[in-house]
Structure 1
Amino acid sequence: MAAHQVAHRIAEENQRTLNPTCTGTSVVAVTFDGGVAIVADRVASYGKTARYKGVSRLYRLNSSTLIGFGGDHADFQFIQNLIYRRAHDYKAMCGDPDAELSPMAVHSYLTALLYYRRSRMNPLWNTLVVVGTQPDDEGVKKPFIGIVTLKGVAYHPKYVATGLGAMLIQQSLETEFRKHQATYGAETKLTKDEAVGLLRKAMELVYYHDCLAHSEYEIGVVTTEDAAVLPPEELVGNWAMAETNCNYE
């Protein structure tokens, strides 16, 4: 093989994805007393076009863990495959077909994976939200939220909004939490119904302001008993405000 052909092949092998293709937008998650609730809409956009509708962006791994994603849909499918294999290997290692990875273990694995890929200058174009119930040293399950960005940055908040929602509704979530604590006490947590209601309100705000958001969304709830993704819901919206925002006549 000629030298120029070798150089051309090496250049091809070193090419990287510079931009994601079909993407999902914001994911929102909040903790409540005894669990975590998470929400994401059901569309994968190609640029500004809603290319694929009815796409679930919440992945139920097991009875204690859900994963929501924003960013490239194909990259998350790749990540799903890796997580499935890790879960299978863990069951084989434990010798127990019912053994489950904890949400903290999944979050740690994804942090290492995304950091490794970005260090190789070949990132997975996703922001991942891992939610679940994590056993403490005494075996008591407590709410857990873990975030991993495409740069491998990871942290554990009590509530979070990713994507454009980080700018649109992060402050709203903090305001609601502070209002609740001021009324009921700093140690009092939201109830499940309050958390789900807060997520519905958050998705309405995202839908009004984010041109990539879609009216159909689904909510996932993790409690100490199980993890489940609820049936899809549809936003109706109130666009009367458009007359004042856009000077319509």
Structure 2
Amino acid sequence: MIEILNPSELSRARNTGALVADILQTIKARTTAGTNLLDIDQWARTMITEAGAKSCYVDYAPSFGRGPFAHYICTSVNDAVLHGLPHDRVLADGDLLTLDLAVSLAGIVADSAITFTVGGSPSPADAAMVDATERALAAGIAVARPGARIGDISHTIGSVLTEAGYPVNTEFGGHGVGSTMHQDPHIANNGRPGRGYKLRPGLLLALEPWVMADTAELVTDADGWTLRSATGCRTAHSEHTIAVTSGGAEILTLPPAAPGRG
């Protein structure tokens, strides 16, 4: 299913995006060495509930997971990159943490992810990896205009990641959003330009470049959810929800102080 939002729905989507961005930045600011992943999950639960919103993860039970997920946010640490199931783990200085959050507010979903170093400055290798995903995300957003095709976004994201020296996994990538968290079209993090669904105003997309330092192969934890690099290398993940408008892509999940157009 591919949904095209009307102006009223797009207005609600902006509110959802702002909420997701605020929750992620609030949790990032609170997170220090000594923070437990279960504390992060509880913080997310409280903020989502107080906003009158719903987590998209609590009842999430796709075919690839051992569901339901039963938590409010994904917390992926170091070699974990996707679907990190919160558990009783205390973070340490230098841990590389990815927070991935999808929330529904007034019937519209927004989805975003950030990766950051806990407790101080990142290592050069970690900083370069996070930067590559952020640059790939920005480049993908820049080509998300009416008339462009999904393949144009995939190709652009993949070009940035491969030029930065990272292998690219295409099993998991971006996706459409709207009244539900995961919709068509699928947006692989590499692809061929000029192919796939043609973008039109009112389309909401979650773009999410992610990489592992030296492999494209994933392994799954015994919890049935957490996806890690097969080699144990570090990972990074950046994601925004955007709305395709007649003037280009509008980023809905930017932090509050950032400009709103991409």
TM-based fold match above 0.5:
no
Structure with higher Rg: it is 1
TM-score of the superposed pair, with normalisation by structure 2:
0.29
TM-score of the superposed pair, with normalisation by structure 1:
0.30
Considering fraction of residues, name the structure with more strand: 1
Considering fraction of residues, name the structure with more helix: 1
More relative contact order, 1 or 2 (CA 8 Å, 6+ apart): 1
